[in-house]
Chains A and B, each alone.
Chain A
Amino acid sequence: MRLIDLHLPIPYILANKNGEIISYTSKADEVFDLSEGTIKSIVDEGSISKFERVAAIPEKSMRFEANLKTRSIPIALFDIHISWDFQGNASMQFLYKDDDNEPLMEKLQALQNRLAKTDFELYEQKETLEQTLQRLDELSGPFISLTKEICYIPLFGDMTGDKFTTIMEQTLARLSDHDYRWILIDLTAVAKVYNEGTSGLEVLIKSILLMTGGEVRLIGINPRLAKALQPYQLRNVVHTEQSLQSFLQSVINNHAI
């Protein structure tokens, strides 16, 4: 075993396939206790099998992780780059790795601390509540087929973005089965209007128009809704009706249903 005069920034060791060290750099001696003259003496017990397997396929150059014993740390994670020469000796360079994992470890520690403080009873209740809200959203825009030509979607409660995402899914599924001439969206029972809700309504209307050849009619727009919907210029794509009654009356008058 001899010290070679090569000033590499990371440890370098040359060993034969039995793991006996042939030569090493001063950096290797600085990091590891090489007094036993074998690679095995610097490898943590849990990583010995990895070295044995690497030695069993000596033709292959590779990089692998292993835990090593350094002069200062009993178990330290390294990336080991290994290549073999024609005599079957292994050149190895050792790159210390724990610093790279440090940020990940810190994040996991934070997660662990948060987990320890989490009240899972509350967490489960929150999940149940979320499912209930989702169900409420589904029920807040029922799809009602009035005649072969007319379908009616009354909306209830606050207009939120989530609600329209849910309603859109069920509405488009129902519309795909059937060609309606008039699709009535009734906003009479709408309470609060949120920005995501109004843009959700716009997306719903435009999706319906894209999917069907029908006409969308908005019913029951009060002054507050009119103001909220004004920026979307829905006038160009939909007609409005004061009430369901007035729409049905005009249809009856024109078509004598």
Chain B
Amino acid sequence: MTRGEELAEILLSGAVADAWEYIEQFDYLTNVEIYQDIITPAMVKIGLKWENFEITVADEHLASGVCDFILSRLAAKHKLKPVTAAPTAMFLCLSGEQHYLGLKMVASIFEENGWRTKFLGANLPVQYALQAAKDWKPDVIGLSVSIATHLPTLTEYMEAFSYLPKKPRVLLGGRLTNLYDLASFTAIKPEIISNLYAVDKWITAFNTKGRKNAIN
């Protein structure tokens, strides 16, 4: 069994302590590695098990709850205390989108890099997203979409953000990035992030180019 498959079994059993013990043995890995190479494959495996008639949606919900706990602990382990001048990023799932775990991992990687972040979670209607962006003026907005039915609303979000006085960089991730040409869905193009290593690279590039440069 791969690590992802092993973790999937533990998550489905609902055993929070066992799941944490399993993850803790990999403390020699970075969070990005744990997220991309262990937790993501585990959640993909759980999705496949549903497709394969092995589990129900209720089982998936339970596993997600346990996974959420693991992510929160991992994030807390490496979180840096951001300085006031640190760049800012806010994260949200499109309206109707309930798959927030991937985005939570992304937010945690930004935090590890010293960013100030706001995680607005699953299913955030466009008007709330816009209000939060107006109030907080983030440098980056991270969006996630995993269900194709939610794709048409992406245009609404992109358009809403384009009217912001301080234009943020918009990053788009989620399961669909590997299946569709997401940029073609909207006139205003978001930057597509296809996995968690790409997040790390993106942040490094942002830091290298300098904040001002990168925003323009």
The chain A residues found within 8 Å of chain B, CB to CB, are 44-46, 49-50, 53, 62, 64-65, 69, 74-75, 77, 97, 100-101, 104-105, 108, 111-112, 115-116, 118, 120-121, 123-124
B contacts with A: majority SS: helix
* Contact across chains for B53 and A111 when beta carbons are under 8 A apart: no
In the complex, per-residue mask of B126-161: 1 if CB is within 8 Å of any chain A CB, else 0 = 000000000000000000000111000000000000
Task: Check: B69 CB closer than 8 A to any chain A CB.
Answer: yes
B192 to chain A, nearest CB (A): 20
Cα-based distance from A121 to B72 in the complex (angstroms): 11
- Which of chain A's residues has its CB closest to B50's CB? A65
* Contact across chains for B53 and A64 when beta carbons are under 8 A apart: yes
Which residue from A75, A77, A100, A111 sits with its C-beta under 8 Å from B147? A75
Task: Check: B117 CB closer than 8 A to any chain A CB.
Answer: no
A108/B61 contact (C-beta < 8 A), A74-B149, A75-B147, A115-B69 known? yes
- Which of chain A's residues has its CB closest to B55's CB? A65
- Which of chain A's residues has its CB closest to B47's CB? A46
A104/B96 contact (C-beta < 8 A), A45-B148, A49-B51, A111-B68 known? no
Chain B residues in 8 Å Cβ range of A116: 72, 119, 121
Chain A residues in 8 Å Cβ range of B76: 120-121, 123-124
A108/B58 contact (C-beta < 8 A), A46-B147, A118-B72 known? no
Which residue from A69, A75, A115, A120 sits with its C-beta under 8 Å from B68? A115
Which residue from A101, A120, A121 sits with its C-beta under 8 Å from B57? A101
* Contact across chains for A65 and B57 when beta carbons are under 8 A apart: yes
* Contact across chains for A45 and B149 when beta carbons are under 8 A apart: yes
Q: Which of B40-82 touch A at CB < 8 Å?
A: 50-51, 53, 56-58, 61-62, 64-65, 68-69, 72-73, 75-77
* Contact across chains for B50 and A108 when beta carbons are under 8 A apart: no
* Contact across chains for B58 and A104 when beta carbons are under 8 A apart: yes
B92 to chain A, nearest CB (A): 14
A65/B149 contact (C-beta < 8 A), A50-B51, A121-B76 known? no
The chain B residues found within 8 Å of chain A, CB to CB, are 50-51, 53, 56-58, 61-62, 64-65, 68-69, 72-73, 75-77, 96, 119, 121, 147-149
Q: A45-B149, A116-B72 are in contact. List 17 more A-B contacts (CB 8 A).
A: A44-B149, A46-B51, A46-B148, A49-B51, A50-B51, A50-B53, A64-B53, A65-B50, A65-B56, A69-B149, A104-B58, A104-B61, A111-B69, A112-B121, A116-B119, A116-B121, A120-B77
Cα-based distance from A249 to B159 in the complex (angstroms): 92
* Contact across chains for A101 and B61 when beta carbons are under 8 A apart: yes
* Contact across chains for A108 and B57 when beta carbons are under 8 A apart: no
- Which of chain B's residues has its CB closest to A77's CB? B57
* Contact across chains for A74 and B68 when beta carbons are under 8 A apart: no
Cα-based distance from A97 to B96 in the complex (angstroms): 17
Cα-based distance from A205 to B188 in the complex (angstroms): 77
Chain B residues in 8 Å Cβ range of A124: 76
Chain B residues in 8 Å Cβ range of A121: 76
Can you list 25 A-B pairs, Cβ within 8 angstroms, ordered by A? A44-B147, A45-B148, A53-B53, A62-B53, A74-B149, A75-B147, A77-B57, A100-B58, A101-B61, A105-B61, A108-B61, A108-B64, A111-B68, A111-B69, A112-B65, A112-B68, A115-B69, A115-B72, A116-B72, A116-B119, A120-B72, A120-B73, A120-B75, A120-B76, A121-B76
- Which of chain A's residues has its CB closest to B69's CB? A115
Chain A residues in 8 Å Cβ range of B121: 112, 116
Cα-based distance from A108 to B59 in the complex (angstroms): 12
CB-based closest 7 A-B pairs: A120-B76, A74-B149, A108-B65, A115-B72, A45-B148, A64-B53, A111-B65
Cα-based distance from A146 to B76 in the complex (angstroms): 49
* Contact across chains for A97 and B53 when beta carbons are under 8 A apart: no
Chain B residues in 8 Å Cβ range of A69: 149
* Contact across chains for B65 and A75 when beta carbons are under 8 A apart: no
B25 to chain A, nearest CB (A): 17
Cα-based distance from A101 to B56 in the complex (angstroms): 10
Cα-based distance from A247 to B161 in the complex (angstroms): 84
A110 to chain B, nearest CB (A): 10
Chain A residues in 8 Å Cβ range of B58: 100-101, 104
Cα-based distance from A46 to B50 in the complex (angstroms): 11
Cα-based distance from A101 to B96 in the complex (angstroms): 16
- Which of chain B's residues has its CB closest to A111's CB? B65
- Which of chain A's residues has its CB closest to B79's CB? A120
A107 to chain B, nearest CB (A): 8
